[in-house]
Structure 1
Amino acid sequence: MSTDASELRDAGRPDAQAARNALTGIALMCAAVFCFAGLDATAKFLVRDLPAVQVVWMRFLTHVVLAMIIFRVWRDIAIFRSRHWGLHLIRSLCLLGSTVFNFLAVRYLQLAETVSIMFAAPFVVTALAGPILGEWAGLRRWLAIAVGFLGVLVVVRPGVGGMHWAAIYSVAAMGCYAFYALLTRKMAGTDSAAGMLIISGAVAALAMTPVAIDAWVMPKDASTWLLLLSTGAYGSIGHLALIQAHRLAPAPLLAPFMYTQIVWMVGLGYLVFNDVPGPWTFLGAAIVVSSGLYILYRERVTGRG
C-alpha cells in the first residue's frame, strides 16, 4: 500500500478525527482568550472616563445585539430550544458574577493579586471536570497546568504580605468563571452555540440595566462610542470561540491555554498603554507558552494528557 493511501486511511480513523478536533479546540481557545485580552484592554481605556458598570452593561448589550444579527435569530428561533433552561440561567449568572466580582476586587486589590487568583481557574476546571463531566486529566496534564500557573506567578509576582479581605471577590470571580467553563462544556454537545451565546449575554444585560442606567455618562466623542461598542464584539466573538472550543475538546485539555491570555495582555499593554515588559515578564511568558506547547505536543503524539 502506498504512503498516500496509508495517510488517507489514518485520516479516516476516529482517533485521527479526535486529534484534529482537539487541535481545533485549542486554536479556538487561544482565539477566545485573545478576544478577552482585547476586551480587558479596551475596558481599561474606557473606565478612565466612564463608569465601569456602564462599560460592563454595554459589553453585554452589544454582545447580544451583534450575536442576534450574526445568527439571524428571526429566521430560526429553534436555536433557543433547550432541555437545560436551569443550566442556562446558572451559566449566565456565572458569567455575570465573574465580571461583577472581578470589578469589585480591583477596587481594593492590586491587579497582580486579582490576576494571580483568577488564573487559578484551570485548577478548578481540571479538578471538577472529572466528577462533573467525566473528563479526567492525566498526570502530565496536571504537571503542565502547574507549570503554566507558575509562569503566571512569575509574570505578576504577587506580594508576599497578608492578603486584603477583598480577595474573596477575586476568589468568587475565579469560581464563577470555572463553573461557567464547565457548564459551557456540559451544554455544548446538546444546545446550539448561538442560543448559548445570546442567552448568557441577555441575562447579564437585563440584570445590569437598572444600575447602568442610573450611572450612565454620555460618551464624549465618536471614537469613545466605537470603543464602547467594540467591547460587545470582543465579548461575543470570544465566547463563541470558547463555546465551539468546548464542543470539540475536553475541558482539562483546554484549561491550560487560558494562560496564554497573559501573553496577549503583555503585548496589548505595550502597544496601547506603553507598558514596557520587564525581564520577569518575558521569563514568565516563556514558561506559559512552553507549558501550552508541551500539552499541544502530547496531544499530537498520543492524543492523551
Structure 2
Amino acid sequence: MTLSDNMRAALLIMASMAAFTVNDALMKLASPNLPFFQQIFMRGALITIGLFILAAIWGHLRFKPDRKDRLLTALRTLAEAVGTVFFLTALFSIPIANLSAILQALPLTVTLAAAVFLGEPVGWRRIVAILIGFVGVAIIIRPEAGGFSIYALYGVAAVIAVTFRDLAARKLSKAVPSSRVALSAAIGVTLMAGVGSVIEQEVWVLPNLHESLLLLGAAVCLMVGYISAVAGMRLGEIGFVAPFRYTSLIVALFLGLVFFNEWPDFWTMVGAGIVVTTGLFTIYRERATAGKPSIGLRVR
C-alpha cells in the first residue's frame, strides 16, 4: 500500500511528538539536581553537535539556500527561540496544567493560520474533529479554576510563536534539507539557554554519569523530534497533520506510568479516548477524500 503525503506526514508528526515527550521525561528525571536552563543548554549543545555531524555526513552543509529560504529559516529559528522564552517564563509562573491547556490550542491555531495565510483547504469535518479533540485535551488537563494571570498571556504568545514557526517551515522550498532547518533551531535555542543560564546562576552544577546519560538520551530524542517535525510539517497539509500533535498526550500517559508510577483517572482516560478518536477520524476523512476535488474551506 502506497501512503499519501498526508499519511507519511502524520506518521512523522506522531514520531516527533513521541520523541519530544520522551525527551521531556528524560529531562524530568535529570532535573532534581540540575538547574533548568543549564539542562537546556547542555542538551542543546549535544543536539547542535549531533545535527552538525548528521548534516555533514548527509552533505547538507554544502547546500546553498536562496535568500527567501534563508529568511524563512531565520524566521523559524527566531520563532523557536522566542516561543521557548515565553514558554519558560509562563512555566515558572503559573501551574503547568494551565499552561498545557493553553498550548493544546496549537493545532487549531496552526490549522486556521494555514487557511488564512497559505490558503490550504481545511474542511469543516476536520475543523469539527479538531475542536472535539480540544475538548478531549481539556478533559485530560482539567486546569484549576483559579483564572488566568498575566503570565497566561505568555503562554498564548508561545502558541503564536510556534504557529509562525510551523508556517515558516511549510513555506520553505522542498530543496532545503530538514537537518539544516533543525540545526538552525537547535543553535537558536541553545544560545537562548546560554543567556538564561548566565542569568540563572553564577556556578554550574557538574552532572554525574546518570544525569549525563539522561541528557544524552534527551538530546537524541530531541534531534529525532526536530527533524521529524520539520519534515512532517513540510510534507503534508497542516490542517490534516496538526491534530496528530495530540500523540504527545497519549505517550505522556504511558511514560507517566512507566517512569513516575502515575496512572490516569477515569476522566483522563475519557479525554484520551476522545483525542485518539478524532485522530482516527481525520485519517478516515483523508482516505475518503483522496483523489476527489478539494472543496474544503479556504480563507483568503
After TM superposition, is the score higher than 0.5?
A: yes
Contact 1:34–1:264 (CA<8 Å) still a contact in 2?
A: yes
Number of residue-to-residue matches in the alignment: 289
1:62–1:110 distance in 2 versus 1, CA, 3 Å: same
Matches of 2:281 and 2:54, distance apart in 1: 36
Letter in structure 2 aligned against 1:244: A
Residue 204 (structure 2) aligns with: 217
Residue 48 (structure 1) aligns with: 32
* 1:171-186 correspondence runs (5 A): 171-186=156-171
1:256 and 2:243 are equivalent in the alignment: yes
Deviation (angstroms), 1:119: 0.6
* 1:11-30 correspondence runs (5 A): 20-30=4-14
Letter in structure 2 aligned against 1:28: L
Gaps spanning 5+ residues in structure 2: where? none
Deviation (angstroms), 1:159: 2.4
1:291 and 2:278 are equivalent in the alignment: yes
1:165–1:229 distance in 2 versus 1, CA, 3 Å: same
Contact 1:270–1:276 (CA<8 Å) still a contact in 2?
A: yes
Matches of 1:217 and 1:192, distance apart in 2: 35
Matches of 2:232 and 2:154, distance apart in 1: 28
Letter in structure 1 aligned against 2:36: A
Matches of 2:93 and 2:275, distance apart in 1: 27
Residue 265 (structure 2) aligns with: 278
Deviation (angstroms), 1:96: 1.6
The match for 2:252 among 248, 257, 265 is 265
Residue 110 (structure 1) aligns with: 95
Further displaced range: 27-36 or 93-102: 93-102
Contact 1:38–1:234 (CA<8 Å) still a contact in 2?
A: yes
Contact 1:88–1:196 (CA<8 Å) still a contact in 2?
A: yes
Q: What is the DSSP-based 3-state SS (H/G/I as helix, E as strand, rest coil) of the residue aligned with 1:277? A: coil
Deviation (angstroms), 1:229: 2.1
Residue 114 (structure 2) aligns with: 129
Gaps spanning 5+ residues in structure 1: where? 1-10, 12-16
1:207 and 2:192 are equivalent in the alignment: yes
Letter in structure 2 aligned against 1:104: T
1:68 and 2:60 are equivalent in the alignment: no
1:140–1:74 distance in 2 versus 1, CA, 3 Å: closer
1:93 and 2:67 are equivalent in the alignment: no
Matches of 1:80 and 1:275, distance apart in 2: 48
Matches of 1:202 and 1:146, distance apart in 2: 35
Contact 1:26–1:254 (CA<8 Å) still a contact in 2?
A: yes
Matches of 2:180 and 2:187, distance apart in 1: 10
1:148–1:213 distance in 2 versus 1, CA, 3 Å: same
1:188–1:291 distance in 2 versus 1, CA, 3 Å: farther
Letter in structure 2 aligned against 1:289: V
The match for 1:77 among 41, 53, 61 is 61
Letter in structure 2 aligned against 1:55: Q
TM-score w.r.t. length of structure 2: 0.89
TM-score w.r.t. length of structure 1: 0.88
Matches of 2:52 and 2:70, distance apart in 1: 19
Letter in structure 1 aligned against 2:188: V
Contact 1:92–1:199 (CA<8 Å) still a contact in 2?
A: yes
Letter in structure 2 aligned against 1:269: G
| Identity over aligned pairs, percent | 30
After superposing on structure 2, the runs of 4+ consecutive aligned residues of structure 1 that deviate more than 3 Å are 73-76, 213-216
